[in-house]
Amino acid sequence: MNKFAVHTLFMAAVLLPVAAVADNHDPIAKRQALMEDTRDALRPLIGMTRGQVDFDAETVSNSLAVFATTAEQAPSLFPEGTETGGETEAKATIWSDRAGFEQGFVNFGEAVATAQAANIQSLDQLQPQLQGVLKTCRDCHDGYRVEKD
């Protein structure tokens, strides 16, 4: 192998993973970003239930809209071939128990729709709805996510 070929291969080896992370179409990066958005949307709701920020109906509604997007988009971001890489915390069970995994997002979507239909206007209304939503988060993290430090 000549020097040029070695150099090219080396550069490709270094740059390819970087390109993969930067690529918007990379499902692992995309689903991680989606989960980050979800977490950010949860932040003010937890703040409200813990009495750290004031209740605000519009914020609640915005957060629920983000959750609904997550429930809708997430299942398609775990295609075959994305079991590993990119520091994924996806568990192998996602692919071995696809129906159960997708049902988890259906449940999540339903809990979010219930909360949206409740037209939350007070903290007292938010508490039980949020608990219903969080239960569906937990159910899925329980079986389909690897716990890391």
Partner 1 sequence: MKKLLIIVVLVGVLAWWLSGPNGLDPDVVPAHSPDLANGERLFHAGGCASCHGRLEDGKPQRDVMAGGLVMNSPVGAFHVPNISPDPEQGIGAWSDLDFLNAMQRGLAPDGSHYYPAFPYTSYARMTASDLLDLKAYLDQLPADSNAVPDHGLGFPFNVRRGLGLWKRLFLDAAPVVTVPDGDDVLQRGRYLVEGPGHCGECHTPRNAAQALDLGRWLEGGPNPDGEGRVPGLTPARDAFADWSRDDIAYYLEAGVDPEFDVVGGTMAAVQANMSRLPAKDREAIAAYLKALQP
- Residues in contact with partner 1 by the rule CB under 8 A: 39-40, 42-43, 46, 49-50, 91, 100, 131, 134, 137-142, 145-149
Phi-psi region of 87 (alpha: psi -120 to 50; beta: other; left: phi over 0): left
Which of residues 25 and 148 has its CB atom nearest to partner 1 in the complex? Answer: 148
Least Å from the CB of residue 135 to partner 1: 9
The residue type at 61: S
Instruction: Find the shortest distance in angstroms from Cβ 103 to partner 1.
Output: 10
Please identify, using beta-carbon distances, which residue of 41 and 77 lies nearer to partner 1.
41
Q: In the bound complex, what is the minimum distance in angstroms from residue 20's beta carbon to partner 1?
A: 23
CB atoms within 10 A of CB 22: 10
Return the biggest CA–CA distance within the chain: 71
| Closest approach of partner 1 to the CB of residue 6, in Å | 37
User: Which of 22/92 has CB closer to partner 1?
Assistant: 92
CA-to-CA separations, 48 to 1, 4, 41, 121, 145, in angstroms, rounded: 63, 60, 12, 12, 27
Question: Measured from the CB atom, is 5 or 99 closer to partner 1?
Answer: 99
Question: In the numeric block, which tokens belong to residue 129?
Answer: 């709805």
